[in-house]
Structure 1
């Protein structure tokens, strides 16, 4: 019965590993430069920086900033406005043909103190854009995201089944043993198992958060249906507030910030966008600590009257999404955590690559019955064989 259980787990591990290995290799390789996207942006000269000025320099009105950005693209509407977490001297204004979600957007960086245009970042070209699109959706939009989410699920299955197989396989070997004197395939199997078990927690964390991130569009749509629609019942039947009838965005922002002392602005979603309603400017505020800066508090301000109509707590599923995004790329602990994430990413690439090698070389293995008596480790060959031919512990 125990032998049958091991065979079942080996079968599960084999096919979950084989199906997802190539895609997980792609995600690990493309994810490596994304860990250092800010640093690479500085090297490539694509990172926008505001000129140095005294911290006490007064800020330009947000209304003026938005007018400046829109003047460059008068045929578009302002969809979002945001500020970097570590630099409130810049406004990034996103403009699209319509408020609805679209990949056709332009971005304008405006100096928050002078109201002058700093740059128009090209977000749809270059090396980092290709890496991001391959990592996020394979250039296939929502279907690509959901497909990669399924690959992430298979990775988690491979990790769990690999852990189950690890114990019987290593029962007569010391932890960390790599039999270098044996044939290359056995040596790679030991290295594969060692790196797999060492990177276990990290791989599971990154795999799980990556899978959650692929559901982002669906989670936001569910939030709109589940909670935002209930908050908008008083506005049912009313048309979207025309641009000419909207009040001052600067005044609305001041009201939103006054309602949540100690919090800072993360981004603004304007009427009709995915994160707002047809009638509100929605201000997403964040905390000041590394963790609380990822937990956003929405404040809905009537775009016409400038009055706060709601400030709901985000539901757990949206909070899980917001927390998982920076955790996936190691954005919580600065450079030390980025380096750690990169090293673990490289280790996982070795695990995945060695698992693929073990599968491709499976035909060169001497049958366990032929080496019994000559091989001092023959006692666990029956367990090692299915684990290795399954590309043992791929992803762990």
Structure 2
């Protein structure tokens, strides 16, 4: 059993880390929930890109054709990356930008993977889901916002650990999950707090830890670019830029074959 002084230190940590991080954890919960159901919300708002119904055996066009269709919509921009939804291979989303490192002015074209038809130009910087995503990821503050939310995640983890340390001394004489309804309102709220805290312990810790790690993504990528990627492209330093690119479809086929 921890001593009185130790308990006071843990109680102070639990109190202030909880108070500081709670507002932002509530914000992340409220903005994260719509992101889970972004497809359903997109259908409701009419912003979801829909592929035409066709037989599942319909062959797909070459990825090079998809890229050409997208670039024809924005000939002054270059392709940045191309992606698909994990559960839907009928649509390719091609993102284009002014430079390979651009973070603003991005354009996206949704192309039917079976017909090569441009279906839509999703707006990346407006709308309800954009607001929810930006608040959830960086508070509209870029890297500084991400790192701030990561710090809030760290405070949440400290609050959870300190709460676990305090749980045993304050609940040693109570049955697990017991709520003393006959006592004062303050005592009932304390018991409910302890019950909800210990029941959601694993979930809250996993969410806090993984969320904090996700905020380091930009830093990890920059480190990789300055270390392994820099070493990989070092032999090409000083050489003129490539004017003729290889086939994107060939690269995809080779990657899928590995």
Which position in structure 1 is the counterpart of 2:252?
253
Q: 1:10-29 residue pairs with structure 2 within 5 A?
A: 10-29=11-30
Instruction: Please identify, of 56-65 and 93-102, the stretch whose mean Cα deviation from structure 2 is larger.
Output: 56-65
Stretches of structure 2 lacking an aligned partner (at least 5 in a row): none
| TM-aligned CA deviation for residue 106 of structure 1 | 1.0
Which position in structure 2 is the counterpart of 1:120?
121
Which position in structure 1 is the counterpart of 2:10?
9
Superposed CA RMSD in Å reads: 1.5
Which position in structure 2 is the counterpart of 1:57?
58
Secondary structure of 1:212's aligned partner: helix
In structure 2, distance between residues paired with 1:208 and 1:104: 32
TM-score by length of 1: 0.62
Instruction: Please identify, of 8-17 and 54-63, the stretch whose mean Cα deviation from structure 2 is larger.
Output: 54-63
| TM-aligned CA deviation for residue 101 of structure 1 | 3.9
Q: 1:253-332 residue pairs with structure 2 within 5 A?
A: 253-258=252-257, 260=258
Which position in structure 1 is the counterpart of 2:199?
198
Secondary structure of 1:89's aligned partner: strand
| TM-aligned CA deviation for residue 148 of structure 1 | 0.3
In structure 2, distance between residues paired with 1:247 and 1:208: 41
Tell me the matched-pair count.
257
Q: 1:1-396 residue pairs with structure 2 within 5 A?
A: 2-242=3-243, 245-258=244-257, 260=258
| TM-aligned CA deviation for residue 203 of structure 1 | 0.2
Secondary structure of 1:83's aligned partner: strand
| Structure with larger RCO (C-alpha < 8 A, sep 6+) | 1
Summarize the Cα distance change of 1:248–1:166 in structure 2 as closer, same or farther, 3 Å threshold: same
In structure 2, distance between residues paired with 1:46 and 1:224: 35
What whole-Å deviation, never above 9, does each CA across 1:343-369 have from its counterpart, x for those lacking one? xxxxxxxxxxxxxxxxxxxxxxxxxxx
What whole-Å deviation, never above 9, does each CA across 1:303-355 have from its counterpart, x for those lacking one? xxxxxxxxxxxxxxxxxxxxxxxxxxxxxxxxxxxxxxxxxxxxxxxxxxxxx
TM-score by length of 2: 0.94
Secondary structure of 1:88's aligned partner: strand
In structure 2, distance between residues paired with 1:30 and 1:257: 35
Displacement over 6 Å in runs of 4+ = none
What whole-Å deviation, never above 9, does each CA across 1:171-208 have from its counterpart, x for those lacking one? 11111111222222221111111001000000000001
